[in-house]
Amino acid sequence: METSDNTYTKFQLALRNGSDRSEIWIAYKGVIYDVTESRLWRAGMHYEHFAGQDLTHELADAPHTEAVLSKFPVVGKLIG
C-alpha cells in the first residue's frame, strides 16, 4: 500500500462524495482512498455505501475483504 503524509478531517473527506467536488474518496481504518476512477463508485455511491465517509464499520457487511482497497491510490490519513 502506498502511503501519504497528507491528513484530512472528516469534514474534508465529506466534501469528496462525488457531488460537492469531482473527487470520490472513502476512508477505512484511518486511511483515505481515492475511488474516483472506479466504475462502482461513479455516482458517489456503491450499493448502500456512500462516498465521503469512513466505511470502517460497514466493510463487515461487504461481500469482499479489505484487500480490494489495495487497488486504489491512498490520498492520506483521516484525523479527528
Cell of 15: 466534501
Residue 28's CB is within 10 A of a number of other CB atoms, namely: 18
Map 12-43 to HEC letters: HHHCCECCCCCCEEEEECCEEEECCCCHHHCC
* pLDDT value of residue 3: 60
In a domain, residue 37? The reply is: yes
CA gap 74, 37 in Å, rounded:
13
In a domain, residue 1? The reply is: no
* pLDDT value of residue 30: 96
Tally of structural domains, the chain: 1
Residue whose C-alpha is closest to residue 49's, from 80, 24, 77, 22 = 24
In a domain, residue 12? The reply is: yes
In a domain, residue 2? The reply is: no
Residues 49-77: tens digit of each pLDDT: 889 999 998 777 776 778 889 999 999 99
Asked if residues 51 and 26 have their Cβ atoms less than 8 Å apart, the reply is yes
In a domain, residue 17? The reply is: yes
Domain ranges, residue 27: 7-79
In a domain, residue 58? The reply is: yes
Q: Is residue 17 predicted with pLDDT exceeding 60?
A: yes
Residues 19-47: tens digit of each pLDDT: 878 899 999 999 999 999 998 888 887 77
